[in-house]
Amino acid sequence: MSRLLGAILLSLGISLGALYSPPANSHPHAWIDLNVTAVFDEQGRLVGLRQSWLMDPFYSIFLLEEMADYAQGETHEQQLNSIAQQILENLGPYGYFTELRYNSDALDDSEGQQATLEAHGRRLELTFFMAFAAPLDLSEAALEYAVFDPTYYVEVLHTENSAIHLQGGLESCEVRLTQPRPDPALVARAAALDYDETGDPMMGRHFAEWVRIQCAP
């Protein structure tokens, strides 16, 4: 274990022995509380989504252990943010675990920016901005998004209170969150998977929340 990892874990108040706690024996094995801010420009167009992923304590430990070699800088803040940048680079080929649709068409050209990683008690929070290639007029069509780990190793759900914000959006904008309704047979298959097993490569999509944002003309 690196000196950096040990120091950060101790600063979080996490026992080093917790590194060796066994994971759960069914999918999902980790949990992320999601907060999203839809960011609008001065013309009222949507330019991107700011996402915050608050990870459960065990996954926070796992992440530090896996990413400690990427830490750079003199302070814990600098080291955590350098890890955040590497996480963002790793997520890029997977669309940052975010599926986007505008007017029912897929958006595949967004760019992750401004990544930070902060400690909140025993949990780490990754925050980044997902910038769209071009601003979207939500008075013409709706944006729909879902954030999920395709393998469903990690479950990602919006927090219950004020998890979706509109920054600079019009008062006429409305947000609707649709809860997943997975088939019971799929739930059973996920529960039967051990932590080192994979099932349907897009299993997580069946357990994802979908959010729809649209503004009146």
Q: What is the DSSP letter of 140?
A: T
Residue range 109-123: mean pLDDT, rounded:
90
Is residue 157 left, alpha or beta, with left meaning phi > 0 and alpha meaning psi from -120 to 50?
beta
Q: Which residues pair with 40 in a beta bridge?
A: 46
Residue range 133-160: mean pLDDT, rounded:
90
Residue 37 banded pLDDT, cuts 50, 70, 90: very high
d(CA 47, CA 58): 34
Residue 117 banded pLDDT, cuts 50, 70, 90: very high
Mean pLDDT of the chain: 81
- Output phi, psi for 120, to 5 deg: -130, 95
Does the pLDDT at position 63 exceed 70? yes
Does the pLDDT at position 191 exceed 50? yes
**pTM of the complete model:** 0.83
Percent of the residues in the chain that have a pLDDT greater than 90, as a whole number? 42
Does the pLDDT at position 122 exceed 70? yes
Does the pLDDT at position 44 exceed 70? yes
Per-residue pLDDT, 19: 43
Q: Which residues, other chains included, contact 54 with Cβ-Cβ below 8 Å and sequence gap of 6+?
A: 32, 33, 34, 35, 120, 123, 124, 125, 159
Percent of the residues in the chain that have a pLDDT greater than 70, as a whole number? 78
Q: Which residues, other chains included, contact 217 with Cβ-Cβ below 8 Å and sequence gap of 6+?
A: 139
Locate 91 and state its tokens: 């997520």
d(CA 10, CA 151): 31
pLDDT digits (tens, 9 = 90+) for 66-92: 777 777 777 778 888 888 888 999 999
Per-residue pLDDT, 136: 95
d(CA 210, CA 129): 19
- Output phi, psi for 201, to 5 deg: -65, -15
pLDDT digits (tens, 9 = 90+) for 147-178: 998 887 788 999 876 678 999 877 789 999 99
